[in-house]
Each structure stands twice: as C-alpha cells, then as structure tokens.
Amino acid sequence: MSVAGVPGQPAAGSEGRSSPPGSAPPILTLTLNPTVDICCDVGHLVDIGKTRARVRYVAAGGGGINVARGVARFGGRATAFHTAGQEIGQRLNRLLDEEGVDHLALGIAGETREAFVLFETESRRSYHIVPHGPRLDDDEGRRCLDVLERAAGAHPYVVASGSLPGGLPDDFYTTVARRVRGAGSRLLLDTSGPALRESLHEAVFLRRCNRSEAAYLAGRAVRSFDDARAVNEQLLAAGASEIAITTLGELGALCSTVQRHMELHAPPPPGEPLSDAGAGDAMIAAIVTRLAEGDDPVDACALGVATAVASMLTPGIEPFDREVAESLRPAVRITRLGG
C-alpha cells in the first residue's frame, strides 16, 4: 500500500510496473502543485439555475505530471515526482497507478487541489478553473529538494513545470536548479510569474516561455519572432539558460542559443482547435524525449511545435495524439531569424 499520503514519507507509485522499453535514459519531472483534473462537457453555461454536465474523464494533472504522460506517449521513460496531500492526494496517487504512470509521491499536510475543465459543446470553448492549492511549510520544501536531488542523479534530464504552491519562496526554482546541476543532470524549466523572474539568478539547460511569460519578463507585448528574439537574448546574455524557447501561439516558436536564433513556424492545424490548455506541457514532453534520444535542440523543438498543435485538437487537457503530432512535424518550417 502506498504511504504517499503520510507527510514526510516519499513513496514510489506504480510498483511492479515497467516503463516502456527504449534505449534513451529515463526522464524525471517535478510537479510541486499537482491537481486532480475533473473534465466535464456542458451544453452551455448559464448564470441562473443549474448547468448540467457530463463527466468526460478524471485524471492526475499538473505541469510535470502532464509532461511525464507525454514522454510515455512518445515511447520514452519518465518518472513523475510530485507532492500529494490528504484525500485528494491519495486519489491522485490512485489515478497515476491506474494509468500506469511511474511516479514518486511526497506526502504533505495540506490537501492537494482539484481543478475543473469545462468544455462548452455549443460554443466549442474550454474553461480551465484552477484553485491555488495547498501551502507547503519550510520542512516540506526542504524534503522536496532532498528527494529531488537523490532522484535526479539517475535521470540525465529533469523537467520542472508548473506553478509554485503557497508557502515556498519565489526563488525556490533557483534552489531546484542548483540541486539538479549538483546531481549532474540538466534542468528544463517552464514556470511563470515571480517564480520565473527569481529563477533567472541560476543557469538552467533550457527555458520555455509562452507569450504571456515572455511579456512579463520584457515588460511589453511579445507578438513576433523579433520580439521573441529580444526576450531570448535577454535570457542568454544573463546566463540564465543555455537554450531559450519562446512560443508565439499560432506563429510557432523561436529556439535560441548563443550561436543562432531559429524560427519554427507552426503548421495550420488539421482540424478545429478546441483548447490550448496543456499545449506547453505537450511541447516540453516532445522536446525532452527527443533530447534524451540525442536529437539536436532545434529538431527536438520542431517536434515540440508540432505536438503543441496536435494537443490543441483535443478538448480540455486530454492527451495529444502521437500520430497526429508526428505527421505534422515535416510541415514545421525552420528558418534562421534574419537569414
């Protein structure tokens, strides 16, 4: 029986399960503020009376967990390290076990949050409602770092994705980056707000920012590849990242190193876009899977762009279709910015 719900005791989930076979090294993901996602279909939302809903699915969620799930869809091996608290935390663990996602749970005192995804069938719009989640105390934060550091040593790539729970300092990801590097691993970081800004004080291997996050750093709107270049150059010049990726929605993404800036133009979706929730996690899953297999960062990012497009074809945060993602990869046009 899992003891993940007991504060202070990390427990491995999916005992007895094996990861998909493959020669690439395993990937570790970190989710400090996971969710149990409850996804429902409604005809249309009403402001008076009841809105009847059909539960489409219930699944474990949160940035790193979504990335681990995406890595598995591409045939890679991933372990999701996450917090889990009280009854909802126990449900989170059960859902991951049932799905067959390898995971390592750290028990906390607070209740893991639930999030709600509503897909309005008449308008074809999705609404993602996400509470703040539990607060972690200093001891829980230290235990997260200690378990992460021990686990990172067996995983050449570590992905930290998602928001920080209350109680942790804004510079927590700075310490994560230090611990991961000390374990000899490479960190891919995808976060937002003050946690993003404070993390710039420590170098990571790869950072991904969407347009909103890039605008937060730049202090102005980021709408074009030139705008993205300014943000990526800021990150590279500060020594905050070896690889900087800024995504530009339907335009695609800019992948930058100190040597070059490469535009990756997104292909048109082969169907109606239904939701962009989870597109960033799907992109990171594709990128880290291919990096672990030895791909060039630009090629890995090209599959990431294709996967983000594929993920938008599903309502809510349902998993992307791998075949669709791979079929879109040849349509991603790659050019050097300004060349």
Q: How far apart are CA 173 and CA 170, in angstroms?
A: 8
Which residues on adjacent β-strands are paired with residue 114?
36
β-strands 35-42, 27-31 pairing: unpaired
| Cα atoms in the 13 Å half-sphere on the side-chain side of 63 | 22
Catalytic status, residue 296: no
* Cα four-point dihedral sign 33, 187, 306, 238: positive
H or E stretch at 230: helix 225-237
CB atoms near residue 306 (< 10 Å):
27
Q: What angle do CA 301, 296, 308 make, to 5 degrees?
A: 15
Q: How far apart are CA 232 and CA 242, in angstroms?
A: 10
Choose the catalytic residue: 281, 295, 299, 321: 281
Closest among 317, 32, 307 to 162, alpha carbons compared? 32
Q: What angle do CA 11, 17, 23 make, to 5 degrees?
A: 110
Q: Please list the active-site residues.
A: 281
